[in-house]
Amino acid sequence: MEIILKKDIPKLGLTNELVTVKPGYARNFLIPFGYGILATESTKKQHAEVMRQRTHKEEKLKQDAVGLAEKLEKLSLTVGAKASTTGKIFGSVNTIQIAEAIEKAGHEVDRRKIVLKDNAIKELGSYTAKIVLYKGVSITIPFEVVAE
């Protein structure tokens, strides 16, 4: 029995994917709980149209992400933090401060898209942050933590 998934199901498939399952699994679990719908001719046509529109939107999002990546590669960020004379920071520098520094530079990046090697930086120095802008589009930005 063919089912179009409405939600991600581990070990089965992703949203809007057409999968073949046993009839009992579809009738007793997937369809009643809203995880999928029966793939008839009309729903297959609707599914094809949705997927066509989705690929168009994803292509636009990817182009926007590539454009933003080109702009962000030119940035050199400086993050200020209160620190002791030995170079230890009072507190830590995390993705929130990096996102604020990028915003001050004139670009907006969600802090959840920024990945640090260490979760928090606790000393002064030069570091890098990886920013995942979209699937397959990521850049590494160097930044420096200085004492205020």
Domains along the sequence of the chain with CATH: 2-66 (3.40.5.10), 69-147 (3.10.430.100)
Q: What tokens does 50 get?
A: 């949705």
Q: Report the pLDDT value the prediction gives residue 63, as an integer from 0 to 100.
A: 92
Taking the chain (148 residues) in consecutive chunks of 10 residues, what is each chunk's mean pLDDT? 92 90 96 95 92 89 90 88 88 90 90 85 90 88 90
The upper half-sphere exposure of residue 60, i.e. CA atoms within 13 Å in the direction of its Cβ, equals: 6
Q: What confidence score (pLDDT) does residue 12 get? A: 92
pLDDT at 91: 87
Whole-number pLDDT of residue 148: 82
As a whole number of Å, the end-to-end CA separation of the chain is 64
pLDDT for the residue 40: 94
**pTM for the whole thing?**
0.65
Starting at the edge strand found earlier in the chain, the sheet holding 36-38 runs 18-20, 2-5, 36-38
pLDDT at position 119, please?
A: 75
106 Rama class: left (phi>0) / alpha (psi -120 to 50) / beta: left
Beta-carbon count within 10 A of 12 CB: 15
